[in-house]
Amino acid sequence: MFPALIVAVAVSQGARVESPVPYFEVHSGFWQNLHHFLYELGQRKRVAEGADLWVAAPIDHGPLGLTAAEQPVWDAAVEHYARTWAEKDALFDDDLGELKQVLAAHEADAALPEDLHLPAATRQVLESVAPLYRRAMWPRHDAANRRWFKERAPEVAEAGPVVVPMLERAFDAKFPKAVRLELVGGSTGGGAYTSLRGGPFIVASTLDPRSQDRAGTEILFHESAHAMMESVRPALGPTAGPKLWHAVLFWTVGEALHRHWPDYVPYAEREGVFTELRAPIAAAWLRRLDGKPRLQVAADDLLKRVGAPDPDVAAARAQTVVTGTRTERRLEDAVVPTEVITRAQLEAVGAKNLEQLLLQQPGVEMEYSFRGAGVSLQGLGPEYVLVLIDGERQTGRVGNLLDLTRYSLRDIERVEIIKGPAAALYGSDAIGGVINLITHRPRAKLELLGRAQGGFTNGPGQGLKGDLIDARGHAATKLGWFEGKLGAGYQTQGSYDYDPRDVATSGAGFSRWDVDGLLAAELFGGKARVSAKAGYLRRDLQAVDLAPSGAVFDRRQRSEQFDATVRFDAQPAEHTRLSLWGHTGLFRDQLQQDQRGAAFLDTYTASLDRIYTVDAQLDQQLAEHALSAGVQFLKESLFSSRLSQVGDRYRVGVFVQDEWDVPGLGAVKAKLLPGLRVDVDSQFGTAPTPRLALKLDPHPNVTLRASYGWGFRAPSFQELYLLFENTSVGYVVEGNPKLLAERSQSLNLAADVRLPLEGWLVSASLFHTELTDLITIDTSAPIDPINPTRFKYGNVSSAYAQGLEASLRMRLSRGTYVDLGYVLTDARDNVRQAALAGRAVHKVSGQLTSRYRPLGLELVVRATFIGPRPFYIDENGDGIEQQVWTRGMVNLDAQLTWHPFGWGAIFVGGTNLLNAGDAVYVPQPPRRLTAGVQLEY
C-alpha cells in the first residue's frame, strides 16, 4: 500500500528523514542528538550523585573512543549539563523547550548562532564537543534513528488506518498531521515527550530499551495523541487531578493497538504505568474507541469511578463566607446559614444589577416603586434588610428603600445572603436579613476584564426597542506585596411602560457610570495589610409621571454615591487577628419634577446622606473558642429640603461573640454561637441585640441550625423630621422626633440533608419574627381639605412575619443541576388585622443550570412563580382601603453562554421573558433580550 521506505543519504549534520506516513515530518538532527545525549549523561551523573531523577534503564551507546586530550573537554560538557540542565524537565521546563526549538531550527548548520534562547555557556559547550561527538557517536545515533524509524514506519502505516479513527472517536478530536518528530539516540528521561507550544513537537529516543518494536509504534501514536487532549482535559475538569488525562491517553492508545494486534501488550501494562487506573478507565472510557458513550458521559462515569469529586461540588464545599460571623468560615462550617451567589453564577445568569440577580433567588422578594427596587427577606420589607458592601453599611435609602438597581455587580466576587436576624453583629436594620456584596481582590500579576452587551426592551404589546448598553471593565494586579485595581462601567437603559394608553412610564430609564479603585500593600511578610479603596457612581434617571389631576411631569433624578474605605488588618500572633477601618459614604440625590405645559407644579428637591463609621475588631482563637469583639462609631446625617431640620445622629455599638466548638460529643459535631451587641444612639437611646445560634451535625450528611435573636431598626430621618404638606388634598405628614427604634425578636430553624447522591441537597427552614413598636402613620382620621389633618409618625403598630422555606438541589449529571424552591410566607399587621402589603403567600422557584464543558456551553434557565400579592387601595373613594390581590405571575429568565476559548465568552439571554408585572402594583422591568461578549485575561 505504501511505497518502500526510502532512507535519505545521511549527511554529516543529519536532517530530514523521509517519511512514508502522513502523520510525521521526521528529523534526525545533529545538534538535537548531541544535546539529548549530553542531557542523558548529565542526568545519569546526577543520579549517581544521589539525585532522584527518572531516567531510562542504561542504554548501550558503545564506546566513545576519546583521546586523553579530548576526555576532559567531554567531561566538562557532561558536567555543564549535570549542573545546568539535568534536573530540569525536558517537557515542562520552558528554557529546555526553547533550547530544543533553536537546535531544531539549526539542525543542518555547522555552527550554532547566538540566540536569546541558547545560553552562551551551553552554546560553547555544544560547539566544543561537536567535533568529538561527530566522530565518535553521531554516526551511530543517526544510523540508530534511521533504522528505528524504518522499522516503525511500516507498523505505523499498517496500524494507522485502523487505530487513527479509533483515537479520533475516543478523543473527539482529529489526529494531527505532519507532526515534527525528532529522533534522538540519547534518553529523554521518558521514552519520548511531546510539547504542544508552537505546534506538536515530538522527541523520541530510539535507543531507549522501552521504545523498541511495537512499543515504539505505540509511543508514536501516544505522543501524537497528546495533541488530541483539548476536549478530554476540560471534560475531566479541575478535580480530576494532574494525571488522569495522561492515564486515559496511555490506556486508550494501548487498547487501540491491542485491538489491532491482539497479541500486543500495551506499554502501560508492560511498564507498569498507571496500572491503578486501568480498571476504571477500561470500564468507563474504552468504549469511546467505538464512539460511545458521549465524551462528557464517559468522563463523568470515569471521575465517579476514580472517586474524583464533581468540580462544582468541590468548589461549593470549598466556598467561604464571612457575613455570618464577620470572620472567614467555610460555608459548610458556618453556624449561621448563608446563601452564596458566586461570580461564576452571576455571570452565568447574566444579571446586570443586584435587582435582576435577586429577583429569582428563592426566599427573596422584590418591591418596586418609583423609588426603585427594594428587597424583602422572610416577609419583611426593604427597611428591615441591611445591604452591605464588604461589610460596610450602605447609605442612600429613599423612603426606607435602598434601590438595588444602583448596584451593577461589576466588581462583585460573590453575594452572601443571610436570612434572619444579624443585628448582634451589624446593629440597625438587620432584622429580616443581610445582603453582603463581596468585591473582587486581585490575585494575579495582571488581570484584565472587559464585558460589553447590548439589548432590547420588549414590553407587553410593544415592539423591540434597542435601548440597553452595558459596558464595564477592570484592570488589576497583585505583584508581590502590592495590589492595585481600577475599574469603570457604563450602563444605559430605556424607560418602560406597562400601560401605553397614558403618557406615564412604569419604570424610569437611566444612564449610569461608575469608577472605583483599590490600592493595598502587604506588610511584615504578609502579616499585615493596609488598603484604601474608593468608588464613585452617578446615575441619571428619566421618567414621566401622571398625577391624578391630569398633570404630567417629566421626572429627572440624579443620584451620586461616593464611598471610601481605609483598612488595616494584622495578624500579630498565629491565633489573633486585628482589624481597624474607617468608611465614609455619601449619597446625593436631586429630584426635579417638571410639569408639562406649565410651571406651577415644578419642584426641585435635593438631599444629601452621609455616613461615617470607624470600626475595630479583634478575633482571638482560644482552644475551641473563636472569640470576636468589636466596636463601631457611627455618625449619619441627612440634609433634605423635605425635612423640617437637618437629621444628625451618633451611635456607638459594641459587640462580643464566641463561636464555640462544643467538645466531647463523639461523632456529633456541635457549635454554639452566643453574641451580643449593644448600640447607644444619640436620638433613640440604647438597643441591646443578643443572639444565640447553634449548629449541630448529628450525622455527616445532616446539619441542623437554630438561631434566636433580637433586632432593631433605627427610625429614619424622614420618619423623625419629615414635613410634607399636601394642602390641596388636605393633609400634612409630620415626622416625630421622639420616635423609638422598632424592635424585633426572631427564631429561625433550619436543616440541611445531603442525600447519598453526590450534589443532592434538601434544605428546609422555618422562620418567625415579631415586630413591635412599629413606626407607622395613623391615617384613620379623615383627611379634610378645609382643615388639613396632621398625620404624625408613631411607634404604634406591631406585626409578625413567619413562614417556611424548602429547597431541593438535584445534580442530574456533571454540570447539570436543577434547583427547586418553595416559600410560604404569612406576614400580618396586628393593628390593621391584615396581611402586609406586597407579600406573596406562595412562591415557587426553579432553576436549571447546565454546563457542557467540551463545547464550552453553559445554559441557565430560572423561573419563579410568585403567587397573588395583597395591596391596599381605596377603590371606591369612601376613605376605606380595600384589599386587592394581584394575579400570580411567573418570572422567566434564560441565558446561554459560550466560552469558545479560556479568555472569552459570548452570551445571549433574556429576562422577564413572560412579561410578568403590571403598571400599578408590580412595575418590574419587562422582557429584555441581550447579547454580549466578555474578554478576560
Tell me which residues touch another protein (CB under 8 A). 536, 538, 547-552, 554, 556-558, 560, 562, 586, 588, 590-592, 594-602, 604, 608, 727-730, 783, 785, 873-879
Q: Which of 818, 642, 623 is nearest to 717 (CA)?
A: 642
State the minimum distance, in angstroms, from the CB of residue 227 to another protein: 52
Q: Residues 854, 231: contact at Cβ < 8 Å?
A: yes
- Closer to another protein by Cβ: residue 293 or 788: 788
DSSP H helices, 702-764, are: 717-721
Amino acid at 611: I
- Closer to another protein by Cβ: residue 319 or 590: 590
Q: Residues 387, 397: contact at Cβ < 8 Å?
A: no
- Closer to another protein by Cβ: residue 586 or 706: 586
Three-state DSSP class for 843? strand
Cα–Cα dist 759/300, whole Å: 13
State the minimum distance, in angstroms, from the CB of residue 876 to another protein: 6
Q: Which of 324, 281, 470 is nearest to 911 (CA)?
A: 470
State the minimum distance, in angstroms, from the CB of residue 873 to another protein: 7
Cα–Cα dist 697/675, whole Å: 21
- Closer to another protein by Cβ: residue 121 or 598: 598
- Closer to another protein by Cβ: residue 833 or 876: 876
State the minimum distance, in angstroms, from the CB of residue 460 to another protein: 24
Locus of grid cell 411607634: 795
| Angle value at C-alpha 445, between 443 and 448, nearest 5 degrees | 80
State the minimum distance, in angstroms, from the CB of residue 835 to another protein: 20
Q: Which of 408, 367, 371 is nearest to 384 (CA)?
A: 367
State the minimum distance, in angstroms, from the CB of residue 870 to another protein: 17
- Closer to another protein by Cβ: residue 229 or 541: 541
State the minimum distance, in angstroms, from the CB of residue 829 to another protein: 21
- Closer to another protein by Cβ: residue 101 or 561: 561
- Closer to another protein by Cβ: residue 290 or 875: 875
Cα–Cα dist 269/271, whole Å: 6
As given in the structure block, the three cell numbers for residue 514 are 461608575
- Closer to another protein by Cβ: residue 595 or 736: 595
DSSP secondary structure of 721-770:
HBEEEETTTTEEEE--TTPPPEEEEEEEEEEEEE-SSTT-EEEEEEEEEE
Amino acid at 48: A
Q: Which of 618, 743, 766 is nearest to 690 (CA)?
A: 743
Locus of grid cell 461616593: 562
SS (H, E, C) 122-183: HHHHHHHHHHHHHHHCHHHHHHHHHHHHHHHHHHHHHHHHHHHHHHHHHHCCCCCCCEEEEE
- Closer to another protein by Cβ: residue 403 or 659: 403
- Closer to another protein by Cβ: residue 547 or 933: 547
State the minimum distance, in angstroms, from the CB of residue 540 to another protein: 8
State the minimum distance, in angstroms, from the CB of residue 594 to another protein: 6
Bridge partners for 574 per DSSP? none
Q: How many residues does the chain have?
A: 937
- Closer to another protein by Cβ: residue 327 or 595: 595
As given in the structure block, the three cell numbers for residue 398 are 429613599
State the minimum distance, in angstroms, from the CB of residue 125 to another protein: 58
State the minimum distance, in angstroms, from the CB of residue 588 to another protein: 4
- Closer to another protein by Cβ: residue 105 or 608: 608
Pair type for strands 447-457 and 731-734: unpaired
Which region holds residue 431: left if phi is over 0, alpha if psi is between -120 and 50, else beta?
A: alpha
Amino acid at 279: A
Q: Which residues of 36-65 are buried (b: 16+ CB within 10 A; e: fewer)?
A: bbbbbbbbbbbeeeeeeeebbeebebeeee
State the minimum distance, in angstroms, from the CB of residue 380 to another protein: 28
State the minimum distance, in angstroms, from the CB of residue 604 to another protein: 6
Backbone angles phi, psi at 856, to 5 degrees: 70, 30
